Amino acid sequence: MKQINRVLVIDDDKDDQQFLHKAIHDLFPNMECISLNNGKEALKFIEENPPPPSYIFLDLNMPYLNGFEFLKEFKKEKGNSETSVYIYSTSSNPRDKEKAKSLGADDYIVKFTDLTSLKARLKNVIQT
Amino acid sequence: MEPTKNKRSANFNNWAFIVSSLFLLSLAIFSLVWFQKQKEAEDWIAHTYEVKLKIEKCFGLLLEAESNQRGFLLSNDSTYFKNINHAETLLNRSLKQLDSLVEDNEIQIKNVNTLRSLIFFRLSRLHILIDSSAKANNFTDSHLTSPDKVLMDSIHHQVIIMQAEENKLLGQRTFFKNIGNDRVITFIVLFSVISFMILIWSFFKIKNESSMRLQAQMELIRQNEKLERKNRDLTTFSNIASHDLKEPLRKIQMFTNLIMELNPDYLKNKSFEYFQKISQQSSRMQTLIESVLKYAQTDEGDFGFQNTNLNEIANLATDSLSEIIKEKKAVVNVRELPAIFCSPTQMEQLFINLVENGIKYARPGMTPIIEISATLSEETLKIDFRDNGIGFDEAYEKKIFEVFQRLHSSDEYSGTGIGLAICKKIVENHHGTITAQSILGEGSVFSVIFPVEKTAAKRQK
């Protein structure tokens, strides 16, 4: 399935959503950026709005369906294989990083506290 | 259980075992020796009878020799003479046997010697009479001469003496055997009963000890579970440190950086909003740290258990919450509650947290109504906190009692995610359980269940 220029930000923290949103919008004004509050909401959105997005930024600690649970469900769908999933979490715990990798995450980004560093990192992972 | 008591009890059991073993061993040895003695006594009795028979046989043989002599003197038939010789040979043999039979008895040795000399004397006189009769070649008077009669009488007398001696011995030996029997049976029975009693006693001691050991084991398992719970809490805390507590700090940094990174024009418009966020996050950080400390202190030290009227506790809790109750126009109905044995400070915290929870998660535009009621059964006391709030999906029933687990973001409903975890800890400190039932959009019931045995719950008079 052909992908579209869409980024999903799945995070229960509104501040983080906005922060990431701003960074992406500054770097790639043409990219459609959609924020969702948890894994459950995200799965529903993806199902209802095909085709799957190009990129997903995924927080780990969320209510209802956390990052790992979402990732497991998301990867079950064959059509989603082209989507790059980046974990975007405050946790720098190596166990979380290992688990994310084993569940098929493309990379693991520890949340930044300044726009400059976040933008530098985003330039490496998003290609247009 | 103290270790010294344990050790002493083990020593007791060892002693009980050793003593009863020694009792049984000595009983076995004693019985063996006794049966041996019994057999010896029987042998001696048989021996006595044998001696008596031999004495009678000797006398009988002498009488036989004498009657044959009479026959010979009357008929001069050589057959009689042969018979005399035969009887003499047998008599000699019998006397010899008698010698060996009585060799253990001084008196009877003397008696046998006397008997022998008397018999020999009588026999020699018998031979003299036969010889003289043969020489004379005529028949003499077959009657005994008076010296021979006297001799015979003294032999008979000697035999009676010897029989009497043996009878005396027989009496002694039989008496000893019978008396011995009775005493030994009493003795064996007594010893068996004592050993048996010691064995039963040690059996109960061991049973008792093993049940005590089982209790100690159970205690150990309980302690282990407590330790595991502490460990889990510790892990949760490290997660908290790495996530939840870092979160507000990260936000503070994030917004400070944003203010500094943005161009001055943008700053003018947005700076107020960002400073506001920084301030919010700082106070949130403070709340979090305070509640974490409260959670950590919940199971520390002495809880100060005492008989507590739960209605008074409910009043204290609503007093503490008066501000939020007023603000949200909440109604708290408290039904009749019992008095229980508990920690009043912890119970107050439990009531505060559960009532506050009910008020905080109210449905928008609805008056929060919280009802507290108690049900006392044989074994348990159940206290229900019923609210008409937003409710939650029952699939998360377990999760909500864990530290820092929240079903809503802090933007929707404020909270630290520690309140219910503290409730759970308080209830566990009182050996109880906490559960929650809910219908999404209709309300929730948080039920606290205490075992009556531990809290000694009594219906309030």
pLDDT tens for residues B448-458?
A: 999 887 666 55
Mutate to test the interface with B, among A90, A92, A110 (most CBs of B within 10 A): A90
Is it the case that residue A30 has pLDDT exceeding 90? no
Contacts of B257 in chain A (CB under 8 A): 113-115
Where residue B296 falls among pLDDT bands split at 50, 70, 90? confident
**Contact status of A111 with chain B (Cβ, < 8 Å):** yes
Of B112, B57, B56, B62, whose CA–CA distance to B87 is shortest?
Answer: B62
* Chain B residues touching residue A64 (CB < 8 angstroms): 407
Query: Are the CB atoms for B367 and B329 separated by under 8 Å?
Result: yes
Distance CA A13, CA A38 (A): 9
Residue A124 has pLDDT above 50, yes or no: yes
Residue written as token pair 């726009």: A115
Strand partners, A88: A109
Which H or E run contains B322?
helix B322-328
Res B310: pLDDT: 92
Under the banding of pLDDT at 50, 70 and 90, the label for residue B461 is very low
Average pLDDT, chain A: 87
pLDDT tens digits for range B64-85: 888 888 888 888 788 888 888 8
User: Mean of the per-residue pLDDT values for chain B?
Assistant: 82
pLDDT exceeds 60 at position A2: no
Which long-range CB contacts under 8 A does B328-334 form with residues at least 24 apart?
B328/B359, B328/B362, B328/B368, B329/B367, B329/B368, B330/B358, B330/B359, B330/B362, B330/B367, B330/B368, B330/B369, B330/B370, B331/B367, B331/B368, B331/B369, B331/B370, B332/B370, B332/B371, B332/B372, B333/B369, B333/B370, B333/B371, B333/B372, B334/B372
Residue B408 is nearest to which of A63, A90, A91, comparing CB atoms?
A: A63
Does residue A35 have a pLDDT over 90?
yes
Q: Residue B407: which of A63, A92, A112 has the nearest Cβ? A: A63
Binned at pLDDT 50, 70 and 90, residue B277 comes out as: confident
What is the average pLDDT across B262-291? 76
Higher-scoring residue by pLDDT: B266, B431: B431
Note the pTM of the prediction, 2 decimals: 0.46
Query: What pLDDT score was predicted for residue A1?
Result: 43
The reply to whether A94 touches chain B by the CB within 8 Å rule is: no
A63, pLDDT greater than 60? yes
Indicate the length of chain B as a whole number.
461
A90/B243 touch (CB, cutoff 8 Å), yes or no: yes
Give the model's confidence band at B460: pLDDT under 50 very low, under 70 low, under 90 confident, else very high.
very low
Maximum mean pLDDT: which of B133-142, B227-236, B436-445: B436-445
Comparing CB atoms, the residue among A15, A19, A93 nearest residue B242 is A93
The DSSP-derived string for B250-301 is HHHHHHHHHHHHS-HHHHHHHHHHHHHHHHHHHHHHHHHHHHHHHHHHTTSS
Segment B363-379 shows an average pLDDT of 90
pLDDT value for B411: 62
pLDDT of residue B140: 53
**Residue A97 pLDDT class (50, 70, 90 cuts):** confident
In this complex, the residue of A19, A93, A116 whose CB is nearest that of residue B254 is A19
Give the pLDDT band (50/70/90) at residue B8. low
Cβ neighbours of A119 in B, within 8 Å? none
| CB contact (8 A) between residue A92 and residue B251 | no
pLDDT-wise least confident of B121-135, B229-243, B329-343: B229-243
Average pLDDT for A102-117: 89
Rounded to 5°, the CA angle B101-B106-B109 comes to 50
Task: Give the confidence band of B410 by pLDDT, cuts at 50, 70, 90.
Answer: low
pLDDT-based confidence at B138, cuts 50/70/90?
low
- CA dihedral over B236, B241, B242, B244, signed as positive or negative: positive
Query: Mean pLDDT throughout B349-367?
Result: 91
- Give percent of chain B with pLDDT exceeding 90: 16
Distance CA B357, CA B332 (A): 12
> What pLDDT score does B351 carry?
94
pLDDT for the residue numbered B152: 86
